């Protein structure tokens, strides 16, 4: 095959700054979560009996919307044979992210990064990592010349981390405590 028929190589260079920014977010959240003195209270729980059920249900909503993200992404990449409008992907992602904000704020401000219980340690680390991956993905979106695998991989990692967050929080809550609101 001659050079004329080869595909242009895609460089990792466009991903350097998004990866650095995402890494800084992970570290900053982890350091803040550890250095900050937890207050025990951060977010009002309007409509919920307490902060924990609020966090569980908002995380579950984000988890369900993350599944919609995967399905709509597969559609956008023509892997389903069904056309789902790209707006479904954008809006399900936006809403899922917004649902995580009060949860993350409460976790960081009220509880901090905890490491006494293995489940809670994993959950704390996944929470920091999620926002780092999300930052990287959002900053990589407009990058031209990035490898074609960039968005599917970053989206897949963000989904996987969110599933881990859901398993170490909401799933644990539902199985250990029950379906409280």
The secondary structure of residue 9, as a DSSP letter, is P
What is the structure's pLDDT at 1? 47
Give the tens place of pLDDT for each residue, 32-58: 999 999 998 877 778 888 889 999 999
Question: Do you know the residue count of the chain?
Answer: 181
Mean pLDDT of 5-17: 74
Measured between alpha carbons, how far is 159 from 155 in angstroms, rounded to an integer? Answer: 6
Give the tens place of pLDDT for each residue, 76-100: 988 888 899 999 999 999 999 999 9
Give the tens place of pLDDT for each residue, 95-123: 999 999 999 999 999 999 998 999 999 99
Q: What is the pTM of this model?
A: 0.88
**Residue 89: helix, strand or coil by DSSP?**
helix
In the chain, pLDDT over 90 holds for what percent of residues?
73
CA-to-CA dists, residue 127 to 5, 19, 113, 165, 178, angstroms: 45, 17, 9, 7, 23
Give the tens place of pLDDT for each residue, 133-162: 999 999 998 788 889 899 999 999 999 999
Cβ–Cβ < 8 Å for 144, 37: no
Query: Which residue intervals of 5-117 are DSSP H helices?
Result: 16-35, 51-76, 86-106
CA torsion angle 33 128 169 104 (round to 10): 70
What is the structure's pLDDT at 163? 97
Residues contacting residue 180 through CB under 8 Å, at least 6 positions apart: 49, 53
Measured between alpha carbons, how far is 59 from 53 in angstroms, rounded to an integer? Answer: 10
């Amino acid at each position: 095959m001659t050079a004329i028929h080869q595909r242009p190589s895609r460089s990792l260079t466009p991903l350097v700054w998004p990866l650095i920014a995402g890494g800084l977010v992970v570290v900053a959240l982890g350091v803040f979560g550890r250095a900050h003195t937890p207050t025990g209270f951060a977010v009002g729980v309007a409509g919920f009996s307490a902060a924990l059920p609020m966090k569980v249900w908002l995380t579950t909503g984000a988890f369900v919307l993350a599944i919609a993200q995967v399905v709509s992404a597969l559609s956008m990449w023509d892997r389903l044979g069904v056309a789902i409008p790209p707006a479904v992907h954008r809006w399900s992602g936006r809403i899922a992210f917004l649902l995580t904000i009060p949860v993350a704020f409460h976790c960081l401000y009220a509880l901090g990064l905890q490491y006494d219980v293995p489940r809670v340690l994993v959950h704390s680390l996944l929470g920091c990592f999620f926002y780092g991956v999300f930052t990287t993905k959002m900053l990589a979106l407009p990058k031209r010349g990035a490898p074609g695998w960039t968005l599917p991989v970053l989206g897949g990692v963000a989904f996987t981390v969110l599933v881990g967050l859901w398993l170490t929080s909401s799933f644990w809550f539902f199985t250990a405590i029950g379906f409280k609101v």
